[in-house]
A and B are shown apart, each in its own frame.
Chain A
Amino acid sequence: MENSKKKGSRIIGAIIVLLIILFFIIEFFVQKSQEFSPKLITNFLLFSLYFIVFLLFLILLFVLSRNLIKLYLERKRKVVGAHFRTKLVLFFIALSFIPTLLLFFFASDLINRNIEQWFKTPIDKILSDTKSAADGFYVQSEELTLHYAQQLGKAIQTKKLIYPEKRGDLMNLTQEKLTEYKLDEISIYIEEEEIFAYLNANLPRQYYQDVKANIIKRAHLGEVFRSIEAMGKGELIRTGISFNIPDVGNVLVITGKFLPQNYAQKLNNISAYVQRYRQLKIQKNPVKTLYIFTLVFITLIIIFAASWIGFHLAKGITVPIEKLAQATKEVSKGNLKVKVEDPASDELGILIDSFNQMVTDLREGQENIAQKTSELEARKQYIETILENIITGVVTLDSKGIINTINPSAREMLALPEKNLIGKSYKDVLSHEKYREILKNIQLGLKNRYELSEKEVNINLDGQNTTVSLTLSPLRQPNNKFSGMIMVLDNLTQLINAQKIAAWKEVAQRVAHEIKNPLTPIQLSAERIIKNLRKKDQNSHAVIKEGAKTILEEASTIKSLADEFSNFARMPSVKFESADIHQIIDQTISPFKGIFPEIEFDVLLSADVPSPLQIDPEQMKRVYINLIDNAIDAMKKKGKIRIQTSFDKNQQRVKIEISDSGPGISIRDKEKLFLPDFSTKKKGTGLGLAIVNRIIKEHNGSIIVENNQPQGAKFIIQIPS
C-alpha cells in the first residue's frame, strides 16, 4: 500500500518533470520557427504548448486538490497532526500564492501592454517608406543611365560616329564618356552584333554576362531596354537606347551601373523584415497567449512547489508526531512492543529516541516485574504445595490472633472439620475445652511474643489422647515489627507410642535378665544339692546347707525386685497442693548431710521463684531424693552437689538444676536415661529416673540432662508456676 502510493507519486513526478522539459523544448522550437518555418508548424507547436500547459495544470490541480481533500478528510477524522499539516500547507500556499499571483498579473499585464505597444509603433510606415526610398533609388539609377545612353546616342548621331571610318573616334568618345558619366559599362550594338563594350576596370568581370539577344531585338523594336541582373555579390543595372541610322541599321547603346553587394543586400533585408513583421502581426495573439501560458505554467509550478514543500515539511514534523501519538496510544493500551521507526535527525529524532528508550525501559521493567511476580507466584505455589502436603501442622496468626493460614495437617491434628477458618480468631476456633492447654500457650505466646519450642501438649480428641509438639515463633516484618505468630504442630502420638513400645520391650528384656540372674545360682545350687544327696558323703551336708542358703538369698532378691516393680505400677497419682519448693529442697537435703559427711551441698535458691506453687510435695521430695541418691552413687560418696533454682518470667516456669562433680553421663546412656529400668548400677532396678520423669511429667514439666562444667552431670527440671 505504502509502496504503491510511493510509486504513484513517483510516476506523477516523472510526468511533471517530463512535461516541463517538453514545454521548454517546444518553446525553444517555437521561438526558432517564427523566423523561417511555415505557419502551420508554428501553430501546431503552439497548440501542443497549450496542451502541455493544460495537462500540467490538470495534473497539478489534481495532485493539489487530492492532497487538500486528503487533508480535509484527515482533519475530519481527527487524525493526529492533520490540523498542523493543514495550517502549514495553507500557510505555504498562501505565502507563495499571493506574490506569485501578483507577479503573474503584473507580468501578464506587462506582456500584454508591451505587445500592444510594440505593434502600435508605425513600423509599417517606416518599412514602406524605406522600401519606396530603395525603389526610388533603383528608378533614379535607371533614369540616370538611360539619360547617359540618350546623350551618348545623340552624340553618335550628330557626329556620325557610327560609320566604320570613324570607329576610332567613337571608341575615344565612349571611353571618355565612361569616365565622365561614372558609368560601369558602355556597350554599343549594331543590330544584334556587339561592336564593342567598355567596362569599369573595378567590375568583377568573371560574373559578367552578355546582354541577351532577345532583349536586344525587343529594344530595336522600340521597347525600353532595362534590366537588373545579379553580378557576383552585386547587381548590374542596365538601360539602353536604340536608334536607326540609315545605311548602318539599328544601333543600340547600353549603359550600365553596378550596385555593389552591401547596398543591394540591405535593400533586400529591409524587404524581408517587412515581410516578417507582417507575418508576426498575424501571430500577435498566439504569441501573447504563449507568453501568458508560460507565465501560468511557471505560476502553477511555483504554487505546486510551495504546497509540496508545505506538505513535505508538515510530513517531516507531523509524521513522526503521528507515529509518536499512535505509539503512545498503543503504550496506553498496554502494548509495550511498539517502536517508532523514524530516521528524523532533528529534535523530533531525539524525542523519538527518548520515547523508544522510555518504552524499552518500561517494557524491561514490566517484564522484570512479570518475571519476579511469576517467580513469587511459583514460590508461593511451591510453599503452598509443601504446606498442603507436609504432615506437620502449620498455622499462622496475625498480631491480633486472626488465622492467616492453616494447612490440612493442622486441621486434622486439631480435629477441625470446618475448612474455611482463615480470617477467624484462634480463640473462636479453639474455644472447646479440649484445646484449653493449646489455647493457653498461644495466648501467652501472643502476649509475650517469645519463642516456644517443641512444647508437648495433650489434646483429648474423641476420647483418644493425642500428644502434639507445639512450636511458636514470632513473625517479624522487615522493620522488626511484630506481625504475628507461626505455630508448628507435630503429632507425637505415634512417636510416643513407638517409644513406649520400645521402652516396654527393653523393660521386658531387662526383667527377664533380672530374673535370669538369680535363677542361675538357684538352679546350680539345686542341682548340686541333688548330686550330693546321691553321693551321701561327709561333705554333702555342708554342700546342701550352702546351696539352700544361696537359693534363699536369690529368692529374696527376686522378691524385692517384684516389690519394686509393683510399687512403680502402684505409684500414687499426684495430689496438687500449695507448697514452697525451696522448703521441700531444704527438707530433702538435711538427712543426706548427716549420712554423707564427704558430700558438699551447695544450695542457691532464687528469691524470684513464686511461692507457694501448686505441686505434690511428697512426689517432688522423691524426685530430689532419687536425683541426689544417684549423684552420691556416681561420685562414690565423695564430691559436690549443687542445687540451684531460678524463674523464667517469659515462660512462667520454675527451673531447678541439680548438678554433681561425678564422672558424668555418656551420650549413649543419655538417650535411655529416663526409661524404666535403665541402670548403670548392677544392683539397681533402673526405676529411679523413670519415677522422676513420671512425676515431673505429671507436673506438666520437663527434665533433661546435660554435662556439668567442668565435670559431672546436670539435671534440669522445669515446671510451670
Chain B
Amino acid sequence: MIKDKILVIDDEAGIRSSLKGILEDEGFEVKTTENGEDGLEILKRQNFDLILLDIWLPEMNGIDLLQKIKKSEENLQVVMISGHGTIETAVKATKLGAYDFLEKPLSLEKVVLTAKNALKQKKLEEENIQLREKIKPRYQLVGKSPSIQK
C-alpha cells in the first residue's frame, strides 16, 4: 500500500517535529518546512496528498501561500493551522479552497481525524472523476440511427 504524503509548513520547530511524529505514527509519509518559499519549491519537485499550513508565517503568509498552491494544484488538500483562529480567516481560507482549519493549541486526535478526513475526501473526489471518465465512452456509443448521424 502506498503511503499518503503530507507536507507540514510551520515556522515553529516544536510544532513541526511533534506533528511529524504523530502523523508518522499514523503511517503517513511526512515532510516539514519552515517557510512558504521552501514549501513551494518542495511542491514542485514532489507530489503530496495533504498540506498542513500555518497561517502566520514569516515573509509569505499562509493565505497567500494557499492561493498559490490552489492555483497550481487544484486537487491538493490544504488544512490551515491558526493561532488566531478568527471566523474571518476561517471563512477566507475555506473560500479559497482549504478543506478545513485547525486551531492552536492542536490536539492529537483532532489533527489525525482532520488529516484522515481530508485524505478520504480527496480519494472520493479522485474516484468520482475516474468513474466519470469511465462512464463517458458508454454514452458516446448511444444513438447510431441515420437521422442522428445526419
Contact = CB atoms under 8 A, between A and B. Distances in A.
Given A532-B25, A543-B25, A521 B14 contact: yes
Interface in B25-70: 25, 58
A261 B108 CA distance: 185
Given A518-B14, A519-B104, A519-B105, A528 B84 contact: no
B8 to A, nearest CB: 12
Contacts of B58: 682
Interface in A500-537: 509, 513, 516-525, 527-528, 531-532
Nearest to A546: B21
Contact of B104 (A520, A531, A532, A550): A520
Contacts of A193: none
The A contact surface, by secondary structure, is helix
Given A519-B105, A531-B25, A524 B18 contact: yes
A484 interface: no
Interface SS majority for chain B: helix
B83 A524 contact: no
B15 interface: yes
B108 A554 contact: no
Assign chain A's interface to a size class: 20 to 34
Nearest to B11: A682
A511 to B, nearest CB: 12
A516 to B, nearest CB: 5
B19 interface: yes
Contacts of B104: 516-517, 519-520
A517 B108 contact: no
Interface in B106-120: 106-109, 111
Nearest to B81: A520
A524 B12 contact: no
Nearest to A514: B83
B22 interface: yes
Given A509-B84, A524-B21, A547-B18, 19 more contacts: A516-B104, A517-B83, A520-B12, A520-B14, A520-B106, A521-B15, A521-B18, A523-B107, A524-B15, A524-B107, A525-B21, A528-B21, A528-B22, A528-B108, A531-B25, A531-B108, A547-B21, A550-B14, A682-B11
Given A550-B18, A682-B11, A527 B105 contact: no
A521 B107 CA distance: 9
B17 interface: yes
B14 A527 contact: no
Q: Which 10 A-B pairs have the closest CB atoms?
A: A521-B14, A527-B108, A524-B18, A519-B105, A520-B105, A521-B18, A523-B105, A516-B104, A520-B106, A520-B104
B14 A523 contact: no
Interface string A479-495: 00000000000000000
A521 B15 CA distance: 5
A513 B84 contact: yes
Contact of A517 (B12, B17, B21, B25): B12
B18 A520 contact: yes
Contacts of A525: 18, 21
A350 to B, nearest CB: 89
Nearest to B26: A531
B37 to A, nearest CB: 15
Contacts of B15: 517, 520-521, 524
B6 to A, nearest CB: 15
Given A518-B14, A550-B14, A523 B21 contact: no
Contacts, number: 70
19 contacts: A509-B84, A516-B105, A517-B15, A517-B104, A518-B14, A520-B18, A522-B105, A523-B106, A524-B106, A524-B108, A524-B111, A525-B18, A527-B22, A528-B25, A531-B22, A543-B25, A546-B21, A547-B21, A550-B14
Interface of B: 11-12, 14-15, 17-19, 21-22, 25, 58, 83-84, 104-109, 111
A550 B18 CA distance: 8
Contacts of B107: 523-524, 527
Nearest to A515: B105
A524 B109 contact: no
A550 B17 contact: yes
Contacts of A682: 11-12, 58
A553 interface: yes
A145 to B, nearest CB: 176
Contact of A528 (B12, B18, B105): B18
Contacts of B108: 523-524, 527-528, 531
Contacts of B25: 528, 531-532, 543
Interface string A538-549: 000001001100
A519 B18 CA distance: 11
B21 A553 contact: no
A536 to B, nearest CB: 14
Nearest to A553: B14
Contacts of B109: 527
Contacts of A554: 14
Interface string A551-565: 001100100000000
A524 B8 CA distance: 15
Contacts of B111: 524
Contacts of A520: 12, 14-15, 18, 104-106
A168 B150 CA distance: 192
Contacts of B21: 524-525, 528, 543, 546-547
Contacts of A543: 21, 25
Contacts of B14: 518, 520-522, 550, 553-554, 557
A67 B107 CA distance: 129
Contacts of B83: 513, 516-517
B90 to A, nearest CB: 16
Contacts of A523: 105-108
A521 B54 CA distance: 14
Contacts of A521: 12, 14-15, 17-18
A682 B25 CA distance: 29
B113 to A, nearest CB: 13
A513 B107 CA distance: 16
Nearest to B19: A524
A668 to B, nearest CB: 13
Q: Select the residue from B14, B105, B108 with max chain A CB neighbours within 10 A.
A: B14
